[in-house]
Amino acid sequence: MCRSCATTTAPAETPVDAKSPAHGLSRRGLLAGLGLGALAVNLSLSTGASTAEAAEAAEAVEAAATAAAKNGAWANPALGRFPAGGHYGAPRGGASHAGQDISNSTGTAVHAAAAGTVVRRSWGGGLPGRTGNALVIAHGGNQYTYYGHLSAYRVALNARVTAGQRIADMGATGNVTGPHLHFETHSGSLGTTVNPVRFLAARGVDLAGGWSRIDPGASGATVVVIQHLMTRRGHALVADGRYGSVSVAAVKRFQSSKGLVADGQVGPATWPALVYTLRQGAGGDHVRALQTALNKRGARLAVDGAFGSVTTTAVRAYQSANRLVADGEAGPVTWRALTG
- Which residues in the chain show pLDDT less than 50? 13-52, 54-67
Residue-level pLDDT at 9: 57
Residue-level pLDDT at 48: 42
Residue-level pLDDT at 92: 87
Residues 6+ apart with CB under 8 A from 230: 237, 247, 250, 251, 254, 274
11 burial (CB, 10 Å; 0-12 / 13-18 / 19+) is: middle
Residue-level pLDDT at 25: 39
Residue-level pLDDT at 40: 36
Residue-level pLDDT at 12: 54
Q: Is 156 within 8 Å of 131 (Cβ atoms)?
A: no
Residue-level pLDDT at 94: 85
Q: Please give the domain boundaries of the chain with CATH numbers for all domains.
A: 35-68 (no CATH), 73-201 (2.70.70.10), 221-339 (1.10.101.10)
Residue-level pLDDT at 11: 54
pLDDT 10s digits, 114-154: 999 999 999 999 999 899 999 999 999 999 999 999 999 99
pLDDT 10s digits, 261-289: 999 999 999 999 999 999 999 999 999 99
| Exposure b/e, 87-105, CB count within 10 A at least 16 = b | bbbbebeebbbbbbbbbbe
